[in-house]
Amino acid sequence: MSPRPFWSPLSAGVALGLALFLTFVLTGHGLGASGFFTRLTAESGQWLAPELTAANRYLGDYVRGNPLQAWITWEVLGAFIGALVGALSGRRFRPQVERGPSAGVGSRLVMALVGGILTGLGARLARGCTSGLGLSGGAALAVGGFVFLICFFAAGFLFSFMVRRYWQ
Amino acid sequence: MIWPLFDSGVASGLLAGFLFGFALENAGFGSPRKLTGQFRLEDWSVFKVMFTAVIVAALLLWVSKQFGLMGSGSYYVPTPFYAAMGVGGLLIGAGFAIGGYCPGTSVAGLAGGRIDAIVFMAGMVLGTALFAAWFAPLEKLYLATPGPQGQTLMDLTGIPEWLIILVLAAMAWGGFRLGSRLERKLGGPYQASDLYPESNRQN
């Protein structure tokens, strides 16, 4: 079965903008993602090294809240279901290691891990990610959101030059 | 003023997330090749979709304040910490170019069946743990150069909100035109048929 085409960027952008606005109406804040991974880290830490995690000045606060009570946990679960419905209904579900034609599976997974580590560090430092700070902060016309977005695009272009051969 | 509803329940989270994930996947944002195509200038979808979404949501927020539906100052505006948000943005930009995702798109990637997305997520958990472990030396940067609480572009520039949105829309229009021209020149953007061939792709 051939995949259905993606939505045009304009329609996808309008749809995402409407979802974001609805989120502001419902909750008083925008969409996010990295907050979920902070909670996941706190949970894993509590399981692997409970004393160290509870004593940690940064993660300690997260440990004291139940992760399932946090709105962001449900939101990320909803995003997973929404994307799964999108992939299945669009005939775009493919179990794979997606990579550039010249990259091997091993090197792709190492790059994914390295990229994830940088992203995890960056999201905690910035207090948000592309969704929570860039998209939602941008829609709220927050200065912080635009500072983030400018730096995000600048570093993206710079590092993309260093790894472009590997994606193409 | 009837909005926001301040509903942080399960249904509100699932609904907002569902629409978020559904839109991301249909934009093609589960695919790290398409996402990183932005920075090779061959696929401008990241810029186009994000900018459009920001403008649509900003415009609707402004309109609902004009009609008195949404109280002004009633929704969350992040307070800028210029240094930390700048450096954090640089790290996430680098992580995106190298790893192929950001936190939200990695969820869409995993939902489409991608093993690399779950490895990226494991990396994020490691990165978050490193941040927590290094919090003492990082705290100075984390708290450095704070701006006014909830500072908006209107606070910074004194320009009215509608005009800011209009300027952003004009920038987006320019970006769409430039992006589409570069896409044609560089053979982009990635179509679903390029990324999901009918036969199983060689792994």
CB distance B99 to B117 below 8 Å: no
* Rounded CA separation B90/A122 (Å): 7
Computed over every residue of chain A, the mean pLDDT equals 94
* Rounded CA separation B147/B135 (Å): 21
Confidence at residue B110, expressed as pLDDT on a 0 to 100 scale: 98
Domain boundaries defined on chain B? 27-71+158-189, 81-147
Residue B77 is which amino acid? V
Confirm or reject contact between B144 and chain A (CB < 8 A).
Answer: no
Q: Where are the alpha helices (DSSP H) in chain A?
A: 9-27, 34-48, 50-55, 60-63, 71-89, 105-126, 136-139, 143-167
A68-92 pLDDT, tens digit each:
568 999 999 999 999 999 999 999 9
Confirm or reject contact between B99 and chain A (CB < 8 A).
Answer: yes
Nearest chain A Cα distance for residue B151, angstroms: 6
B142 contacts on A by Cβ (under 8 Å)? 125
pLDDT of residue B202 exceeding 80 = no
Question: Nearest Cα to B189, choosing from B201, B174, B176?
Answer: B176
Q: Which two tokens stand for residue B120?
A: 């990226």
Confidence at residue A67, expressed as pLDDT on a 0 to 100 scale: 58
Confidence at residue B203, expressed as pLDDT on a 0 to 100 scale: 43
Sign, Cα dihedral of B121, B126, B129, B131: negative
CB distance A26 to A71 below 8 Å: no
Q: Is the pTM of this model over 0.90?
A: yes
Residue with tokens 């994914």: A112
